[in-house]
Structure 1
Amino acid sequence: MKTEPSKLKRLLSVFIHRASGRITLVLLLGLSSSAWAQPKDTLIWLLRDLPPLTIFEGPEKGQGVVDQLMPLLIAGMPQYDHTLMRVNRARGMQMLREESFTCDPSLIWSKEREQWIAFSIPVFRVVSNGLAVRQEDQSVLEPFLVNGEIDLAALLADGSKKLGAVAERSYGQLLDAQLKQAPTNTLTFHYGNDALGSLLQMQRLGRLLGVLGYWPEIRYLARQEHIADKELVFYPVKGTGRYLSTYIGCSNTPQGRQAISEINQLLRTLPHERLAQAYADWLDPERRRDYLEQAKVFFEQQAGQ
């Protein structure tokens, strides 16, 4: 049986139409799958052993405030592959200065750092830095105490006392400025992985009068070094507020700035009360209530801006 030419043309037309539809579908599926298969950018998170924010070892390992924050950040940013990298403060600052896709979840803002770090909105509040000294050295500080606070500028200007600090760490704008103006012989900066613990040991041996830092961190690390709480006294620094904000900072590159934009959106949805309570658990009982109240007021004001 022969097929007429006109009918043959119609059959060919239908076949070509259907075939082209299938080919188009296959191509679309192929393009779609290739798009899904494209590798994600890898975001490197720089973590330091910074109790009570991040805790690398000991019975409280992984229970710090930032330790609890990281799973929330990673889950909220599925567009990236996430890598956690342990670094000391100096190495972390070096990587943030480089053309890399890196972020640090526990930074203090400073105007100087803002030139090369893209900062997020505030993440949570921490107790301001101060000076820890041994009980037996309290009398040495008496000439520099004002209403229970240490006049750090006067102590440094005196030039006869040596203090310890962690290299490349920001202690807040006021303290940073005072440290920059200090005579070089009054400060010992430590660059190692266990910088603060090493400084506390130097203090115990009488090589340092005091160590700068956050009291919850100093107290935690002192215990790791077998230094009892009663052996140390902590003094706030005159002129500093009671609390500081912490921030997430990323390398100031197009990738880093894009990540900060996405992080800010995520931070606005995260439960600040949960992070505040996690931090408050590390404070002395008499400080917890004030901290929680002040943190609540701060973030309510932030939300209204």
Structure 2
Amino acid sequence: MGLRMKFRLGCGAISGLTGLLALPFMAATANADVPGTLIWTVPPFAPAFISEDGKLTGYAADTQNWFIARLGDYQHRIQEVPLARLLAEMRDSSNPENEHNNARCSTTLIPNDERRNYISFAKTILLHLPISVVIRAGDEQNFKPFMDEDGHIQLAQLMANREMATALRIGRSYGALIDNYVERYRKAPQIMPVADDSKLLRLLAMGRIDWIFYFPSEAEFYRRDVTPHQQIKSLPIRGNTNLLEATIGCAKTPVGQQAITRINQIVDANPDMPWTNFYAAWLSPQDREWFLSARAQYIDTKQFEALLQPTK
């Protein structure tokens, strides 16, 4: 999933394995009947994972801990690993870590057909607000001309307007729909290239730009870190308003597949998804209201669909 760092957000390169993190919940179980060891591999995506002073925090770290606390009969280890290396090691069936009584797992993965060949995925665990147009909270009225009847930003109109300046992180992808407009307008005079995601909030606070693309949780992370006195708001983008889904995946070993079965049982026993409150805490008040409303709709839809399933 392409969710970043203080430790700047994960599009930056990271050199190699940074080693094991000693965390309070990591005490190994000495029970001889323990079903195996889960090696939780942590990519550097803040505010999902934030590594500072030997401590791992962030909403995905809290979610991971929540599930680890309910998998007490496993041993658990934590490693920081760049996403590309994590996937390569999960794919490598000859990797000693994927053999015997171990399984590599990760908490922020997005399933796709290729990954399903070597990763077992749990049911949806993480829900995220999508990439949005982030503005100064007091400027919302200025964006009314670019909104449709549902209050969603129409990118074709906004990005073509030379009076509304923005900045784009060099080399970053925002998804197919947004990238189409980015390529069309990248060289327009009202669009400034920058090399660091954290600079975008500073430029917004200084009034040098009027809006930016961010995940709402990412925007709030940088706001708290870089411009804590600035008030911001996320505006949904037309055609890009659905919640993003991610989940826990474990390498397709016997231990990994067994762990995913257990995790799915935990998910089924908690249909209100209480662990998603960790994510909600990383949103601005306005974005939190948007997320909680969208989550309620998501949960109700899933529960309704479950009622339609044939009974065995």
The TM-score bracket by the shorter chain reads: 0.5 to 0.7
Distance apart, 1:95 and its partner CA: 1.4
Aligned to 2:300: 297
Ranges in structure 1 where 5+ consecutive residues have no aligned partner:
1-34
One of 68, 93, 96 as aligned partner of 2:62 = 68
TM-score, normalised to structure 2, is 0.59
Distance 1:189 1:111 in 2: 34
Number of residues paired by the alignment?
A: 255
Distance 1:269 1:181 in 2: 42
Aligned to 2:169: 164
- Structure (1/2) with the larger helix percentage: 1
Distance apart, 1:43 and its partner CA: 1.7
Matches within 5 A, 1:32-181: 36=32, 40-51=36-47, 53-56=48-51, 64-78=58-72, 80-87=74-81, 91-98=82-89, 99=92, 101-109=103-111, 117-133=119-135, 144-147=146-149, 148-152=151-155, 162-164=167-169, 175-179=175-179
1:217 maps onto 2:211 in alignment = no
Distance 1:252 1:210 in 2: 43
Amino-acid identity (%): 24
1:287/1:44 Cα in 2 relative to 1: closer, same or farther (>3 Å)? closer
Q: Amino acid of the residue matched to residue 84 of structure 2?
A: M
Distance apart, 1:281 and its partner CA: 4.5
1:157/1:246 Cα in 2 relative to 1: closer, same or farther (>3 Å)? farther
Aligned to 1:9: none
Distance 2:118 2:206 in 1: 38
1:260 maps onto 2:264 in alignment = no
Aligned to 1:22: none
Aligned to 1:26: none
Indicate if the aligned counterparts of 1:128 and 1:240 stay in contact, CA closer than 8 A.
yes
Distance apart, 1:46 and its partner CA: 1.5
Distance 1:199 1:116 in 2: 37
Distance apart, 1:120 and its partner CA: 1.8
SS in 2 for 1:72: helix
Q: Amino acid of the residue matched to residue 235 of structure 1?
A: L
Ranges in structure 2 where 5+ consecutive residues have no aligned partner:
1-30, 93-97, 188-192
Distance apart, 1:218 and its partner CA: 0.8
Q: Amino acid of the residue matched to residue 154 of structure 2?
A: D
Query: Which structure: larger Rg?
Result: 1
TM-score, normalised to structure 1, is 0.60
Q: Amino acid of the residue matched to residue 46 of structure 1?
A: V
Distance apart, 1:122 and its partner CA: 0.8
Distance apart, 1:121 and its partner CA: 0.7
SS in 1 for 2:32: helix
Distance apart, 1:236 and its partner CA: 1.0
1:217/1:93 Cα in 2 relative to 1: closer, same or farther (>3 Å)? same
Distance 1:252 1:296 in 2: 28
Q: Amino acid of the residue matched to residue 66 of structure 1?
A: A
Aligned to 2:5: none
Distance apart, 1:223 and its partner CA: 1.9
Aligned to 1:19: none
Indicate if the aligned counterparts of 2:159 and 2:185 stay in contact, CA closer than 8 A.
no
